[in-house]
Amino acid sequence: MYMIVGLGNPGRQYEKTKHNAGYRACDIAAKEMGVRFMKRRFDAVLAETSVGGEKVILMKPETYMNNSGQAIRQAMSYYKIPSEKIIVLYDDVDLQPGKLRIREKGSSGTHNGMRSILREIKTENFPRVRIGIGKQPPKMDLADYVMAKFDSETEKSFAEACKNAGLAALEIVKNGVASAQAKYNGNAI
C-alpha cells in the first residue's frame, strides 16, 4: 500500500497559491486514477484506489501546512504504511518555477510542512517530489511570497509542473523512485 500526500492549505483562498502545489499535484494524480476525494479522516481528505494491484491512498491534510505531519502520522499508523511508501508532494523555493526534484529521502530544508512530517514520523526515509516555485524577491517576506499566486504567464508552466509532479508520484507507485527520477527530475516547462 502507498500513500500519496499533497501538502497545502485548505480553503478556496489558497487554491492557486504557490504553497498549494502539493494539493494541486495530488488532485491531478487523483484525476489520472479516476478517483475523487470523498472521505474525511485524520484531519484530511482522502481518496482510495489501486494501481497495478497496489492499494493507493491519496491524502490532502487539512491541518494547514505547518501541522501536516499530524495527519500523516495518524494515517500511517491506521493503515500500517511504512515510511518508504509515503510519497510527499510539495512546493520548494530552492527550485526554479516549473522544475521538479524527486528524492528517495532527505531533510526538510526550509519547508515547515516537511519539518512537521519529520518531527511526527521521526524519519527522513520517504520519497518526495519537490515542485519549484522560485525564490521570493528581495525584501519580500517568505510567507507572503508562498501564499501569493503566480502571474498568468508563469501560472501556465506552474500548472504543468504540478501535473508532472502528480504523474511522477504515480510513476513511483508503478515503477519506483529511480524510474520517476529518470522521467521527471529537473523537468522545467
CA 20 to CA 9: how far, in whole Å? 6
Q: Which amino acid is at 179?
A: S
Q: Of the listed 6, 9, 19, 131, which one is catalytic?
A: 19
Q: Is 188 helix (H, G, I), strand (E, B) or coil?
A: coil
How far CA 97 is from CA of 106, 131, 153, 154, 166, in Å, comes to 21, 7, 11, 8, 16
Active site residue 111: no
End-to-end CA distance of the chain: 31
Alpha-carbon distance of 171 to 140, in angstroms, equals 36
Which residues are designated catalytic?
A: 19
